[in-house]
Amino acid sequence: MWEYSDKVREHFFNPRNSGPLEEANGIGDVGSIQCGDALRLMLKVEPETEIIQDAHFQTFGCGSAIASSSALTEMIKGMTLDEALKVSNQDIADFLDGLPPEKMHCSVMGREALQAAIANYRGEEWSDDHEEGALICKCFAIDAVMIEDVVKANNLNTVEQVTFYTKAGGGCAACHEGIEEILAKVKAERAGPGEVSPPPAHLPNSAATPEAPKPPATKLSLVQKVKKVEEILDAVRPTLQRDGGDVELADIQGKKIYVHLKGACSGCMMEAATLGGIQQKMIEALGELVQVLPSSHMPVEV
């Protein structure tokens, strides 16, 4: 169960200003039913002074969504619209003595409902510029969309750099696998392969200095790629043959290179190590992240 502050609990159990507001002249509907949070904020604004005389909410959501909605209506009553627009999601969270990191989006939703309701009152179009992703770094509440955007915008290549730019991963470090996956995904999407290097096993404790992003290398054609792969296999073949084995290219499917391990190599306990060694050479020579797999792993047509 979440650790909710007493104030969150109190606002959830006794929500203020809930239900429809008949005389509302500014209404903001935000949220996403997929994510299980949706909020309608209703404002009654005095036209002369633009003072919010009353505010009500209706919320489909969890305890902290209801508490954030309730808190928001209490905070903005008596404010002018310009004052209300200065209320940040952090202000809402602070009013409630904090929210768990997984629940900060509830306060974001409150702030967005407020912007939407004021836009509605003023007859303006309001569009949401905030996309939400799965929470990756729980220490600093950084989600996947944010990390991906920053990685793309700054051409980042390592977990250290991501931490430097976003703070994500700078706390308990449990999310480093998740960050590495985002880095790999963005790398795979890049037009040309960028600098590819597996992250170091241990990251230094000192604050990282981001390296200058490497210029993208030219992309190899499929024929060039096959040629390179064959060259590498030729280079390792003598070593394998000394142990009574051999290797042969089976297929290349995207980033997966399938090989037949033959003779003594087939079924050898060192198979994984052999493939790992070949993979390392391939990555270095091709300048992109590839996976070398035994041909038995090739997908079958069903």
Partner 1 sequence: MNPIYLDNNATTRVDPAVVQAMLPFFTEHFGNASSIHAFGSEVGKALKTARSQVQALLGAEHDSEIIFTSCGTESDSTAILSALKAQPDRNTVITTNVEHPAILTLCEWLEKEGYIVHKLKVDKKGRLDMDEYKSLLNDRVAVVSAMWANNETGTIFPVVEMAELAAAKGIMFHTDAVQAVGKIPIDLKNTKIDMLSLSGHKLHAPKGIGVLYLRRGCRFRPLLRGGHQERGRRAGTENSASIVGLGKACELAMLHMEAENTTVRRLRDKLEQGILSQITHCFPTGDVANRLPNTSNIAFEYIEGEAILLLLNKLGIAASSGSACTSGSLEPSHVMRAMGIPYTAAHGTIRFSLSVYNTEAEVDRVIAAVPPIIAQLRKLSPYWTEVGGKSGPAANPEAAFAPTYA
Helix (H, G, I), strand (E, B) or coil at 283: helix
Residue 137 annotated to the active site: no
- Contact letters (x/-) for partner 1, 168-207, by CB under 8 A? ----------------------------------------
Does residue 40 interact with partner 1 by CB under 8 A?
yes
Which one, 46 or 102, has the nearer CB to partner 1?
102
Contacting residue, 94, 97, 130, 171, with partner 1 by CB under 8 A: 130
- Contact letters (x/-) for partner 1, 54-83, by CB under 8 A? ---xxxxxxx-xx-----------------
**Of the candidates 96, 124, 92, the residue with the CA atom closest to the CA atom of residue 110:** 92
Q: Which of 106, 137, 175, 265 is catalytic?
A: 106
Residue 35 annotated to the active site: yes
Helix (H, G, I), strand (E, B) or coil at 163: helix
Residue 83 Cβ vs partner 1, minimum distance, rounded to whole Å = 22
Residue 130 Cβ vs partner 1, minimum distance, rounded to whole Å = 6
H-assigned helices in the chain: 6-13, 63-76, 81-84, 89-95, 104-121, 144-154, 159-166, 176-189, 222-242, 271-286
**Of the candidates 179, 169, 66, 98, the residue with the CA atom closest to the CA atom of residue 133:** 179
Q: Is 223 exposed, middle or buried (0-12, 13-18, 19+ CB in 10 A)?
A: exposed
Strands 291-294 vs 256-263: parallel, antiparallel or unpaired: parallel
R_g over Cα of the chain: 27
Does residue 19 interact with partner 1 by CB under 8 A?
yes
Contacting residue, 11, 21, 26, 31, with partner 1 by CB under 8 A: 31
Active site residues: 35, 106
Q: Which residues bind partner 1 (CB under 8 A)?
A: 1, 9, 12-13, 15, 18-19, 29-40, 57-63, 65-66, 102-103, 108-109, 112, 116, 126-128, 130, 132-135, 256, 267, 291, 293-294, 296-300, 302
